[in-house]
Amino acid sequence: MTNPKDPQNMEQVLLDSPKQFIDGIKAASNNSWNPPYPIEKIQWCGMGGSWMAGALLKEANLLTVPLEIHRSYGLPNSVTDKTLVVASSFSGNTEETLSAYDEAKKRGLALIGVASGGSLEEKCKNDGVPFLKIPVNPPTMQPRCGTGYFVGIFAQLLSRLGLAVPDAVNQIESLVAHLETTKDEARKQGEELALQLVSSTPIIYSSIDYRYVARIWKIKINENSKTAAFWNYFPELNHNEMVGWTQPHGAFHVIILRDEKDHPSNLKRMEITSSVLQEKGIRVSMVAIEGGTKLERVFSTLLIGDWLSYRLALELQVDPSPVAMVEDFKKRLK
């Protein structure tokens, strides 16, 4: 039975999330498009939940070419005639992504769209641009909850194009088995941590190797729990942000995502930073990043963050799904 605080049943979406990867792989299996020129770089254009997959494919070391994320209108100056432009929009109606699509089409760049439908699908079909449709289930799913679809779709596509490591799809399939095995523990760990955050502002720290994971934890807390959260990464934060803890104003709880395979100096920085913050009265929790491959470690840790943000929403008496402030802002823009 759906929790009354969760009428759109995000709980079930999280429970089913490992299946998204396989559905994404299947969605791209029949695509035979090839770019008109050799690709030297991928420019991923997306906002909100639609940029995450590109960053995570990069962070998990699955790509064989550089990938940059663009979260604005148009295209960055770094795009060249050897770039593959990915227009990524869960809804298909994101105005910044449509702007990037229009510029890429105007310049005759290698371009591919991915969405669940909307204006992006229409543009691709009218312009003869290859389009990959996200098999969203349920249709009410929030974009931030559908990352697995994007990852599966692009692991399949980029592998065929020689832009991903040869075993990328096999790694995704192994990831699904790993998540199914560990998902109960991830939920337990996330929910236990959520109970400690009810009266605090979460701060998520990681090494530079997991900076996108830390950022997505922060985003999920913002959107699911409807509360402020912040993020940063080692070693950079030791050169500036930590000075801000000299005189902390308010209740904070720092969560450090720690992989024992992180650079030894960063592991040492985490331990010392934890001690310094606790001396200032700041609560600190260490979350161990675990898994065999980098891909497993990335997505196992993300799943903990999903359950943390979901449970925190329920504890704060808010519906985890809608983002009313964003929708109101869009109306004001129009």
Exposure b/e, 177-213, CB count within 10 A at least 16 = b: ebbeebbeebbebbbebbeebeebebbbbbbebbbbb
Instruction: Determine which one of 106, 239, 249, 331 is catalytic.
Output: 239
SS3 256: strand
Token code pair at residue 112: 């591919």
Instruction: Determine which one of 105, 223, 253, 294 is catalytic.
Output: 223
Let me know if 223 is a catalytic residue. Answer: yes
Q: What is the 8-class DSSP label of residue 60?
A: T
Taking the mean position of all CA atoms in its chain, how far away is CA 312? 19
Alpha-carbon span 213 to 82, nearest angstrom? 29
**Strand order in 201-207's β-sheet?**
230-234, 201-207, 252-258, 283-288
Of 136, 139, 73, 84, nearest to 109 (Cα)? 84
| Rounded alpha-carbon distances, angstroms, from residue 31 to 41, 133, 135, 192 | 20, 11, 15, 43
Q: Which residue has the tokens 């299996």?
A: 29
Instruction: Determine which one of 26, 125, 280, 330 is catalytic.
Output: 330
Let me know if 330 is a catalytic residue. Answer: yes
Alpha-carbon span 172 to 22, nearest angstrom? 8
Query: Would you name the residues annotated as active-site residues?
Result: 223, 239, 330
